Amino acid sequence: MSRAVLSLGSNLGDSRSLLGAAVDGLGDTVVAVSPTYATPPWGGVEQDEFLNLVVVAEDADADAQEWLLRAQRLEQVAERIRAVRWGPRTLDVDVIVCDDVVSDDPHLTLPHPRAHLRAFVLRPWLDVDPDAVLGGVPVRDHLAALSPAERDGLRRVDAVR
């Protein structure tokens, strides 16, 4: 059984519907969906806030590369355009971890190299897996290590589905 943690975010178009459609697009693989958080944009590009959530998914037939392909397909369905790095997007789906896979492949680095710096990944992940570990460190410790401004910038909002 392959288990993946995926981070989903949107700040263009009907973000709630786009996130809900992406979760639905994962079908029966979905084990857990976190609450949704409104979060400030990350990466220094001026833009609207994001809606973010985390999905835990399992599929015996999927490896890390397959999870990446599924993430990319979901982004294509949402008509994501990659114009500006860390810029606004209809849908962003990142594979955060897949089982215990460690990869430095430039197309899929696992665990995700910046997940430990992103409250919008860590907080919702803890909501669905309080014992989660990232890179050998409990996710709660990664979250506690962030600045108060980073941690407190998240606002829980109504669920997308």
Crossing angle of helices 64-77 and 15-25, rounded to 10°: 140
Side chain identity at residue 76, one-letter code: Q
- The answer to whether residue 118 is catalytic is no
Out of 14, 16, 70, 89, pick the active-site residue. Answer: 89
CB-based burial of residue 72 (10 Å sphere; 0-12 exposed, 13-18 middle, 19+ buried)? middle
- The answer to whether residue 70 is catalytic is no
- The answer to whether residue 3 is catalytic is no
How many angstroms separate the first and last alpha carbons of the chain?
A: 26
Neighbouring-strand partners of residue 110: 103
The residue among 88, 43, 93, 103 whose CA lies nearest residue 70 is 93
Out of 94, 118, 123, 158, pick the active-site residue. Answer: 94
Out of 59, 70, 92, 118, pick the active-site residue. Answer: 92
Out of 80, 99, 127, 151, pick the active-site residue. Answer: 80
CB-CB contact of 36 with 156 (8 Å): yes
- The answer to whether residue 80 is catalytic is yes
Q: What residues act catalytically?
A: 80, 89, 92, 94
